[in-house]
Structure 1
Amino acid sequence: MSDADKAMALCAAADALRQDAKDILAANARDCEAGETRGLSTALLDRLRLDPSRLAVIADSVDAVAALPDPVGQEIDRRIAPAGMVLRRVRVPIGVIGIIYESRPNVTIDAAALCVRSGNAVILRGGSEAVHSNRALRGSFARGLASAGMDPAAVQLVPTQDRDAVGAMLAASGGIDLIIPRGGKSLVARVQADARVPVLAHLDGICHTFVHAEADPDTARAIVVNAKLRRTGICGAMETLLIDRDYPDAARLLAALVEGGCEVRGDDMVLELEPRAVSASDEDWDTEYLDAIVSVAFVGGLDGALAHIARHSSGHTDAIITRDATAAARFQAEVDSAIVMVNASSQFADGGEFGLGAEIGIATGRLHARGPVALEGLTTYKWLVEGTGQIRA
């Protein structure tokens, strides 16, 4: 399909989501009611829940993806070989992408839109928590594609919640070209252990914010509270706060978190400054809470922060708050995470906020794609060689 045809199909899919909003929200309400009965956590229910505003954002994100430049056919590199051939490296789709995910109905549409725009087919396998939401969303999206002349089978949803279906996807070498898991540690670990298909992994988001001695106190409080509490259930939420022992406004920083409704788990210095805090265990430094809980440690300057992050970061997003440009530059150079921020909330770790449209996830590995995976991350490339009769001696 041409660039224009793919864009038109996506716009039609976005319109179908808006037209079917009542049915989609009713299906989501069934899932939320079942989730409450099953005792899902507040964070998981927040991920699961749709409302008119969230659904409108999802539909708008499809239009945003439609408006992005088509990566397929984009020329990455051009050169002349020593023998005189013209060599061009161009982007091409990966093929069939399998997405295995939990309790986030927005992933159904984000994945579908990004795969269609990048010329890939997609097989979606959502979690049982969102089964009715996913079916309604995929149905509307596929109806929109079909109305614009695209085969709706380009976006498929596994019709069963049987766990054996996941095993079948992981073993589908030759049928599925790439698996992308989005979910908790156990899901990602299973996919990585059992897959016979290449995997693009999104591990947990143990995101750190380091308040340097030279941080502006007002800026630090605003960023820290936002990074933790704006939405606690997203992967870019701050889970560990590191504070320079020489930072002068630590007590007010801790109080702002507690007064915002956050449980603070800290080391001995934290407990001395904030009587409402509780003692942190060794496990806290390696925990993705996805809730209004934060672990806090005082560290010996930039060296101490770098050492702590090296031991405990999941490689997702880590941030420094400082007015010292030298410290900021060293932090960005030495922290080995997919996203490294200076003076900004880790909640900005999002493909939409990066101007990439929707995202398929935040890749925390080092190969193929890293950070927010959007259109370019869903392509590979091939070399096109044009000669004039050359033969190799």
Structure 2
Amino acid sequence: MRLVWLACLGFGGLLAAAPQDPELNVNSRYLVETVIVAGDGWSTDLASEPNEKISVGLRRQILALIGTKLNPNLLDDLAARLRKEFQARAVSHRLKRGDQPDSVRVVFEIKVPPTRFDVSVPKFLYNAKQGWSGAVEGTGTIERNSFTLGLVSDQDELVERYTGLRARYENTRLGTDRVRVRFQFEDYHNQWNGATRNQLLLGGEPADLTSGVYRTRQNFEPVVSFVIAKPLTLSVGTSFERFEDQFPAANTEAANALLATLRYQWQLEDSDTRQDVDAGYSLHAATRILKSDFVYLRQQWTLHYTLRRGKHTVTDGVQFGFLSGHAPLFERYVAGDSTQLRGWNKYEIDPLGGNRIVTNS
């Protein structure tokens, strides 16, 4: 019996003294200085550049690596989660020497399939007085080119209900990561609330300030976007919009405009708090140079702030807008929808929309 116990102790000692993975032992002594996630045509240093492509929960787990000892097993687990979230073909990780002694940079490389197809529902809501509004889109992606076809029925965004389809082509890297191009086509059939019709019949707005109701509306919109700096993006383009009047007789009119949008997006995140700031300025300038039947200038300033802490979220949005000239109904400002003055009835505020707006919601 004593010999059996001695044999067991000796075998256990051999197991304890068995050599471990030398690579694991060597790498475990390094501190993680930062984590970089790279995909096809994009790369971000999560320590200084928050990336909305990665979910909040996974981003927090990756950020938790920074300042800790390197754990190869944990890197494998995070790589598997990145692969699942991005539906990637493969996710690998490698180490680069850090700026500080005994530190490393962890680089995750995401390899997505060259061709994929996604379905999304960008909008789906119900209002007791306006009914359902929703949209569904299918997007096919081939490398940096995406083709989108969608169906929409929306009475939330404008004074009209527009129902129809959208088609969009987008190239996310036109020679450089800082330039993107997009072409969008829209074809809608329009329906109108009784309050809007009555207001027009009563002459609620002078004829030289807006249009009448229309049956159909089509829009073709080419846009080029430039990333001036990581938080700041400038987009310029044109909108060629045509619509068929409903009264007094069918007549096609055009509202062709120059477009410009300046957008600033900033994000700050720590272990349990995330702050987002989204500020923008947009300009629509319809002119006779583009063969437009309407001439107007539409300007809008927006600022949205979001604070997330645990399961709690606080949001605040401010909007200023000014519209001058002869503009169609779809360019007029609306409040009392799902984003501004929620809970109000937009048809009680102004059934035709307004040419000025100041809201805080």
Q: TM-score, normalised by structure 1?
A: 0.21
Q: TM-score, normalised by structure 2?
A: 0.23
Which structure has the higher relative contact order (CA within 8 Å, separation 6+)?
1
Point out the structure with max Rg over C-alpha. 2
Which has more strand, going by share of residues? 2
